[in-house]
């Protein structure tokens, strides 16, 4: 596993190293890796959810976010852009007291502001905007984790565009993680059973 190549999981399937860990606590990672990560996500609310979750993950383990995902969905009205955009300062205080989510004031405020920014775009526009930054086909297939970038020209451009439109907590690294999670890029390793 130290070379960053695909690893065999307990079920005998090859996975990206982060999705094939043997520890019992890694089951959440395996399910996410096998069923969601790298698969195309469309729809404004669905993409808004992923933007929020990637922002909340910043500086933390993705496992921390995964294990609180249902709490986030409950706290943020199912990530309905329309509903979250209407949140008041009292709602933000309620969120700061919610043990089911990551209680970080700056990230909570960013999630509310990002809903307002998404709402200003208009229906279907967040989806169109995010997907307009999908890189052209023909990228090399990563063979090891070392072949997977943390940022790209496209993620830098996406972050810049989102910030210009009022989005927060969307730097180039977060934007690239969003691109990976939502299937704009397929960074499953060549030998990973999910690839393609």
Note the pLDDT of residue 138: 77
Task: Enumerate the domain spans of the chain.
Answer: 44-182
Compute the distance between CA of residue 15 and CA of residue 13 in angstroms, rounded to an integer: 6
Compute the distance between CA of residue 143 and CA of residue 182 in angstroms, rounded to an integer: 20
139 falls in which pLDDT band (50, 70, 90)? confident
The catalytic residues are 32, 54, 62
Residues β-bridged to residue 14: 8
Between the alpha carbon of residue 32 and those of residues 20, 47, 65, 66, the distances in Å are 11, 16, 12, 8
DSSP-based three-state secondary structure for 18: helix
Q: Can you give the pTM of this predicted structure?
A: 0.93
DSSP-based three-state secondary structure for 56: helix
The encoded tokens of residue 3 equal 């070379």
Return the C-alpha torsion angle 69, 47, 76, 88, nearest 10: 150
The encoded tokens of residue 53 equal 């979750």
Residues comprising the binding site for Zn(2+)?
16, 33, 188, 192
List the one residue out of 38, 20, 31 whose CA is nearest residue 184.
38
CATH fold label, 44-182: Endonuclease III; domain 1 (1.10.340)
State pLDDT tens for residues 86-107: 999 999 999 999 999 999 999 9
State pLDDT tens for residues 140-158: 899 999 999 999 999 999 9
Q: What is the mean pLDDT of residues 10-16?
A: 88
């Amino acid at each position: 596993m130290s070379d960053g190549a695909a690893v065999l999981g307990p079920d005998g399937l090859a996975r990206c190293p982060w999705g094939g860990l043997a520890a019992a606590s890694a089951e959440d990672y395996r399910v996410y890796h096998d069923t969601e990560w790298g698969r195309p996500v469309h729809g404004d609310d669905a993409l808004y959810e992923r933007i929020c979750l990637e922002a909340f993950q910043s500086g933390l383990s993705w496992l921390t976010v995964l294990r609180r995902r249902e709490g986030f969905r409950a706290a943020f009205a199912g990530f309905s852009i329309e509903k979250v955009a209407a949140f008041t300062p009292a709602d933000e205080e309620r969120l700061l007291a919610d043990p089911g989510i990551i209680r970080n004031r700056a990230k909570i405020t960013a999630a509310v502001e990002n809903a307002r920014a998404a709402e200003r775009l208009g229906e279907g526009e967040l989806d169109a905007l995010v997907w307009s930054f999908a890189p052209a086909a023909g990228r090399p297939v990563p063979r090891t984790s070392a072949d997977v970038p943390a940022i790209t020209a496209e993620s830098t451009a996406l972050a810049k565009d989102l910030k210009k439109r009022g989005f927060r907590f969307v730097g180039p690294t977060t934007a690239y993680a969003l691109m990976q999670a939502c299937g704009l890029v397929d960074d499953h390793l060549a030998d990973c059973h999910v690839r393609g």
